[in-house]
Amino acid sequence: MLILTFIFLGTTIVSDCWRSYQCLGTEGFRHLTVNHSLTFVDPDTGAHTQNIERLWRDVRGGIPRYGRREAHMSGYLAEFLFKRAVPRTHLIHEFMRAAADLYPPSPVPIGEDPEEPVAGPSSAP
Ligand SMILES: *[C@@H]1O[C@H](CO)[C@@H](O)[C@H](O)[C@H]1NC(C)=O
């Protein structure tokens, strides 16, 4: 079960009343439910799934409908998180900065490294 693999025991999990989640309360999690047939916010606990459903809708909206690749899923998620964390007006700047962190620029312009052997008449074979 994915939840047992990835979620710390003791975590509060809020779900709709989907049957597969019924066991969560006995598996070591605090399980709050909201019955969507009755309401969207549980009147006793305040539990709701509005925020997470909105978040996933936004995540799915950033994943291409066609040409989508399983292997790119972490990339789609990273792009979503990046765009969410960086103000729209700074996206290009921050993208270039992140790219430069990942691939630091050469300290010496290519072709101007004094240690680099210079091809010339004397070094020609
Ligand atoms: C949710 O509410 C509906 C309508 O009252 C009810 O029929 C259903 O059994 C409830 N589901 C759960 C899991 O309590």
Structural domains counted in the chain: 1
| Residue 125 counted as domain residue | no
Local structure of residue 104 (DSSP, 8 states): P
19 lines ligand 1 (CB under 6 A): no
64-84 per-residue burial string, b: 16 or more CB within 10 A, e: under 16: eeeeeeeeeeeebeeebeeee
Confidence band of 81 (pLDDT split at 50, 70, 90): very high
> Residue 79 is part of which domain span?
2-64+72-102
pLDDT (mean) for 84-103: 95
**Residue 11 Cα to ligand 1 middle (Å):** 25
Q: What is the pLDDT of residues 29-64, one digit of tens each?
A: 999 999 999 999 999 999 999 999 999 999 999 999
What's this model's pTM, rounded to 2 decimal places?
A: 0.67
**Residue 35 Cα to ligand 1 middle (Å):** 6
| Residue 12 counted as domain residue | yes
**Residue 31 Cα to ligand 1 middle (Å):** 17
Whether 123 shows a pLDDT value over 50: the answer reads no
Are 4 and 27 in contact by the 8 Å Cβ rule? The answer is yes
17 lines ligand 1 (CB under 6 A): yes
| Residue 117 counted as domain residue | no
